[in-house]
Amino acid sequence: MEKLDQNTAPLFEALKKNVEDGVIPFHVPGHKKGKGAGELVEYLGEKVFQIDLNGMEDLDNICNPISVIKQAEKLLAQLYGADDSFFLVNGTTQGVQAMILYACGPGDEIIIPRNAHKSAIGAMILSGAIPVYVQPEINYDLGIAMGMSVDSVKEAIKNHPRAKAVFVINPTYYGAVSNLKEICRIAHQNNMLVLADEAHGAHLPFSDELPMSAMEAGADMSAVSLHKTGGSMTQSSALFIRESDKVSSNRVKSVLNLTQTTSASYVLMVSIDMARKQLALRGRELVSKALELARYAREKINEIEGLYAFGKELVGSPGVYDFDETKLSIYVRQLGMSGYEMESVLRKEYNIQIELSDFYNIMAIITFGDEKEDIDRLIEALKDIARKRGVKNKPNCNLVPCKTEMIVRPRDAFYSPKRSVRLEEAVGEISGEMIMAYPPGIPVICPGERITHEVVEYVQALKKEETQLQGTEDPFINYIKVLDI
């Protein structure tokens, strides 16, 4: 393939020209380049509204790109080692669902880790696919799910030889990475596609010291959140594909257009174009900076009594073939605190917002947008909290992600008649809804799974910690809908 000029930004340049030409808009959006936006334009500035445009000849159209959007997508694909890419303006959720809709029809099986994001469960409902769940490895000391072992994937393939695809998370929210290259080899030997949820891996191709990206490992498709660690704006992502006799770019486009908006945000799309340009020109330098900051923070935090910032030392333990060091996860249980409490204290008393908390840990994502001064503020805040709290040597509360059993297919459960019961009275019932803490958006229970005492206990513990829960019609999760059978 001809090497493209990564110093260009086709969509950005087309938008700039549109603004400079002073085109008079008799089209949506109705704010007409900010003139009707009132107070918001005073705060955000005119430029963002001037490029908030809609599909037209000089700006291309996301549903059937043939000019500047297509050129920008080709540049992105080449940068990530893919044969083609697609801009996404509905986050990696859209990419995950498109991959599964592409690979699976009603009744088709897909091998998937049980700690997959809720978007994958939504895709099962949309496609009618049947999940073959692989239990991820659990680190009971830290209380978190890691990656899938190669042996567990082999076993699933052996027991379900007609499965259409293997779905892999690369990396997990906490930074754990499965042996994706070996999983790709085994899956392809068995005529299965490999689909990668790479929401947290946009930065992986830009350092030899980070785990291998999905495209490099040989995956057929990967959905990547450029907005999380690649520098674009929230909700902007990309879907990458490797063309083959089983993967067609045109067919992927058709699948995407089932859920794709016809009014895609040019503000989001141009942020992908410019993030790609920055990564192409300075990606290695920028990701190196992020890694340096993450390592510095981890070293300093591990000097604080009562805290443990885990990292590469986990490599080789179950479910951790490699580790993404930019995920700064910190075990806080020895201070007598839950991660939820630590998150609250950091925000309310130190004006610091971290990415994620759970019963045992907090997690801060370190990117090239961070500065050493901010890292030092986090370190000093943690030192101060540790000094005030002291080491309690509090044992783990033995609450780890629950193992569940699928009784009814997700799609069938979603469309089945249901009744509402109190959560504590739901043990033994089949769930008709999802319940998850967000972040990370991994369901505790999925539609079609048996509700156990452990599930109820886990959800009640999450509620006690005032965790952000979602998934049920009842916003307070006092009630859950179960199958009326």
**How confident is the model over 347-390, as pLDDT tens digits?**
999 999 999 999 899 999 999 999 999 999 999 999 999 999 99
Parallel, antiparallel, or unpaired for β 84-88 and 237-241? antiparallel
Burial profile 177-194: b = 16 or more Cβ within 10 angstroms, e = fewer: bbbbeebbebbbebebbb
Contact partners, residue 451, CB within 8 Å, separation at least 6: 426, 427, 428, 429, 430, 431, 445, 480, 482
Predicted pLDDT of residue 437: 86
d(CA 127, CA 120) in angstroms, rounded, equals 10
**Token pair recorded at residue 181:** 């290259």
**pLDDT tens digits for 413-466?**
999 999 999 999 999 999 999 999 888 888 999 999 999 999 999 899 888 888
**Residues in the chain, total:** 485
Architecture, CATH, for domain 62-272:
3-Layer(aba) Sandwich (3.40)
pLDDT at 274: 98
Confidence of residue 398 (pLDDT cuts 50, 70, 90): low
Q: Over range 268-284, report the average pLDDT.
A: 98
Residue 261: per-residue pLDDT: 94
Average pLDDT, the chain: 95
260 within 8 A of 62, measured Cβ to Cβ: yes
DSSP code, position 1: -
Given CATH 3.40.190.10, say whether it is the number of domain 283-389.
no
Name the more confident of 229 and 463: 229
Q: Which residues make Cβ contacts (< 8 Å) with residue 459, sequence separation at least 6? A: 423, 435, 444, 445, 469, 477
Q: What is the pLDDT of residues 194-222, one digit of tens each?
A: 999 999 999 999 999 999 999 999 999 99
* pLDDT value at 394 more than 70: no
With a CB cutoff of 8 Å and minimum separation 6, the contacts of 409 are 124, 128, 130, 448
Phi, psi angles (nearest 5°) of residue 149: -80, 155
pLDDT at position 364, please?
A: 98
- Alpha helix (H) residue ranges in 178-265: 180-189, 214-217, 226-229, 249-259
The pLDDT tens digits for 138-156 are 998 998 999 999 999 999 9
- Say how many C-beta atoms besides its own lie within 10 A of residue 427's C-beta: 15
Q: What is the pLDDT of residue 397?
A: 66
- Gap between the Cα atoms of 410 and 38, Å rounded: 45
- Report the distance separating Cα 154 and Cα 238, nearest Å: 29
pLDDT at residue 399 is higher than 80: no
Convert 59-91 into a string of H (helix), E (strand) and C (coil). CECCCCCCCHHHHHHHHHHHHCCCCEEEEECCH
CATH number (3.90.100.10, 1.10.10.10, 3.60.15.10, 3.40.50.300) of 410-483 reads 3.90.100.10
What is the per-residue pLDDT for 395?
Answer: 65
In the chain, CATH 3.40.640.10 sits at: 62-272
CATH 3.90.100.10 range(s) for the chain read 410-483
- Burial (CB < 10 A; 0-12, 13-18, 19+), residue 479, is middle
Mean pLDDT of 155-163: 98
Instruction: Quickly state the pLDDT bin for 32 (edges 50, 70, 90).
Output: very high
Distance from C-alpha of 211 to C-alpha of 178, rounded to nearest angstrom: 10
Report the alpha-carbon distance of residue 34 to residue 18 in Å, rounded. Answer: 15
Chain centroid to CA 478 = 28
DSSP state letter for 440: T
Read off the tokens for 309.
């910032």
Q: How far, in whole angstroms, is CA 482 from its chain's centroid?
A: 28
Tell me, what's the pLDDT at 402? 73
- Tell me the C-alpha distance between 227 and 130, whole Å: 30
Burial class (CB in 10 A: 0-12, 13-18, 19+), 329: buried
244 to each of 76, 124, 255, 362, 414, how far by Cα in Å? 19, 24, 17, 41, 34
Report phi then psi at 448, rounded to 5: 95, -5
| Global pTM exceeds 0.85 | yes
How many of the other CB atoms lie within 10 Å of CB of 41?
A: 18
Q: How many Cα atoms sit within 13 Å of 440 on the Cβ side?
A: 25
